[in-house]
Structure 1
Amino acid sequence: MTSAIIAGIIVAALGVCGAVAAARRNAADGKSAFRGRPPEALGVPSDHPARTVAERLEASLGGDFESRVKERVVRSRPGLKDGEWDWIWFELKRFFLMSGIARSVPMYSGRIDEAWHEMLMFTREYEQFCQNFCGAMIHHAPHTAGTEPDRSERAWFDWIYGELFPPSPASARLWGPFFRTALRPELIGRLEAADRTEWLAERFRGDTAARHEDIAAVIDYLIGRFKEQAAAARRNAERRSEPASGDAWTVGAMSGFLVYASLVDYDGFQERMNERLHDRRNDGTGGCGSWSGPVVGEGGKAHGGDKGAGGNGDHGGGDGGSSCGSSCGSGCSS
């Protein structure tokens, strides 16, 4: 046997060992992402205007309703662990909160969408939940194979999510990588100049805001935040400086940088976001609260997240690099 053949065998064996080790690490990361109990009130800070909205949503879902939905999900996924279910249910509730505020919220997670489908089987209870929470139905739009949401819609999803909730290791595991898609600069400019009526017509729910003062307050807060972040991004661009990274991983920290990077360096957006995410993982502020494991890997593709209903690697994630970019969407309507 020649030395070249022996060397080839050794290289191949090392490759197999590396692949096995990587698979084991991914499996371990997946398990650790679902450790611990989800925080109360969906993790919304006590001084955030969305806190009362989150508390009402939690109160609108009885424990018996959850247990019946879980029973149906477990029937189709007998290996589902309690810890994983807790986080799936938790992130579904976060999705509902977003859907009670925003006009259209695409669904980027196959596992969360599966729980939503089973929840819809309890028609009367689901309708009562929607009425108690936001005063209108949160409709489910079925996924159409081969379709995916507009790229900017994932960026918009990430921005709202980041403005409402602190991250958890389970977040990116279920939703796919966050902050991998830029907002279009023309969209930022249009929204920056828009008044409240135009925002409601394009992005937020006027009907639920009319029924609940706290939802109206959250909408006003988000409009103000976006305008402030866009104005700050332009000031920083003029000064040729980046926004400070801050001392802690807090709600709104990365969403603000999303607006900045989208506006000042649209073509280099991914590189800028990767640098900021890397800095936060290594400056002692990210810790377990960082945007979990998914990072941009080989070829610029985003890895990690949830296997779901189609799409591409830039939008959602999939364990091992597959993706979820479902066209499932929602909106509250009368």
Structure 2
Amino acid sequence: MNTSIWILIICFILVDLWIIALFVFKRSLRNINSQRLPKENKPRRGKTPDLPPIVKAGSPASELAGRLEAALPYTYQNMLKQRVMSEHPDMSEPEYEWRWQELKRFFILCAVLDRVPMFSKDVDEVWHEMLMYTYEYQQFSERFLGRMLHHAPNTGSEHVPIPNERAWFDTVYVQLFGWHEYSTKLWGAFFRVPLPREELKDYGSGHFAVNHGQKRFNAWTYESMPAARTAIDAVIHDLQDRIRAAEAEEPRNRKLVNFRNSDVLLAAAVYYAWNAPEQFSDHMIPDERELYKSGSSSSCTAASACGSGGGSDSGSGSSCSSGSSCGSSCGGGCSS
């Protein structure tokens, strides 16, 4: 091989080495610069907030929450988590924990209210996977509620569903669990519709009784579960106090609405439902001026947890009815 060929080969090798050295140098320089960036200028990833307690401090549902946890064996919870994470590989563990806790809150609401629509597609995904373990789910239902809690899937509709049921969901949810921005990500915006004034009149009359023809609270659990009776009585008494305050208070242009304070929030919700239901959503503006909006959390189905078996008295204009596809463990079912 002659000298010119060797020179050419050596030149190619030197050029390759120079390109490699330049690449390594630029990469090192970029890493150094990124480390020198001020912390606040570094890109941030969305973080799922820490999970709060399942019920707020002093909640009348504390005993119900304990009963719920006792009805859920660790092995069942672990199997469910593994299944959901496997079926949804893009879901983070904190996101799963939030969905699971919101589902447990939904079950607690089923022990308090006669009809509880499933307003969240995200939460319903966990419920659906939970049902795959048929025997374990039945055992859980019987240990917690004393009867089978039947499932009807979320419809996925974009329309605002059964407004009266949503108003009760919001009111009882906040009283038992409090309010959190991340809850709105899963359930949709809270307090967009008022409690029906006609129902408020019934509960505020002083003659209301859970077992005398009412169709709002769960009469089955009220009679069979002391923990549920405690929670239901507290919800009703609190509501009656707020109705009396709303009646006595002079109407004002603007009542304080604070989504960070459950007591203030509920007082405003009952006040505007009683005094200004037509402008309810205009008055119930959160601190942040807007709530999270989730297209996956706007539709509904309903579960009947062996309640009184009565039908819905909700308003029209919904995309589904509380009894569109749900069965009752008492055999009465849910009817619209």
Normalization by structure 1: what TM-score?
0.71
Q: Give RMSD over aligned pairs.
A: 2.7
- Structure 1 position 165, deviation (Å): 0.7
| More displaced stretch, 85-94 vs 164-173 | 164-173
Count the aligned residue pairs.
264
Look up the match of 2:303. 329
- Structure 1 position 52, deviation (Å): 1.0
Question: C-alpha deviations, 1:117-157, integer Å up to 9, x for none?
Answer: 11111111111112222222222124457686321211111
User: Judging changes above 3 Å, is the alpha-carbon distance between structure 1 residues 328 and 215 closer, same or farther for their aligned structure 2 residues?
Assistant: closer
- Structure 1 position 224, deviation (Å): 0.9
Look up the match of 1:62. 73
Look up the match of 1:182. 194
**In the alignment, is the contact (CA less than 8 A) between 1:181 and 1:270 conserved in 2?**
yes
**In the alignment, is the contact (CA less than 8 A) between 1:191 and 1:199 conserved in 2?**
no
Aligned pairs (5 A) from 1:229-308 = 229-236=242-249, 238=250, 240=252, 249-274=260-285, 277-278=286-287, 294-295=290-291, 304-305=293-294, 307-308=295-296
User: Judging changes above 3 Å, is the alpha-carbon distance between structure 1 residues 270 and 244 closer, same or farther for their aligned structure 2 residues?
Assistant: closer
Look up the match of 1:216. 229
Look up the match of 1:207. 220
- Structure 1 position 256, deviation (Å): 2.5
**Unaligned ranges ≥5, structure 1:** 1-27, 282-292, 296-302, 309-316, 318-323
Selected match of 2:239 from 226, 233, 236:
226
Look up the match of 2:56. 44
- Which has the larger helix fraction? 1
Selected match of 1:130 from 141, 152, 156:
141
The answer as to 2:24 corresponding to 1:35 is: no
- Structure 1 position 76, deviation (Å): 2.7
**In the alignment, is the contact (CA less than 8 A) between 1:200 and 1:206 conserved in 2?**
no
User: Judging changes above 3 Å, is the alpha-carbon distance between structure 1 residues 59 and 197 closer, same or farther for their aligned structure 2 residues?
Assistant: closer
Look up the match of 1:117. 128
Question: C-alpha deviations, 1:81-118, integer Å up to 9, x for none?
Answer: 00100100011000000011110001111010011011
Mapped partners of 2:174, 2:92: distance in 1: 27
- Which secondary structure does the structure 2 equivalent of 1:258 belong to? helix
User: Judging changes above 3 Å, is the alpha-carbon distance between structure 1 residues 149 and 266 closer, same or farther for their aligned structure 2 residues?
Assistant: same
Fraction of identical pairs, as percent: 32
Look up the match of 2:90. 79
Normalization by structure 2: what TM-score?
0.70
**In the alignment, is the contact (CA less than 8 A) between 2:112 and 2:218 conserved in 1?**
yes
**In the alignment, is the contact (CA less than 8 A) between 2:59 and 2:177 conserved in 1?**
no
- Which secondary structure does the structure 2 equivalent of 1:329 belong to? strand
**In the alignment, is the contact (CA less than 8 A) between 1:103 and 1:203 conserved in 2?**
yes
Look up the match of 1:152. 164
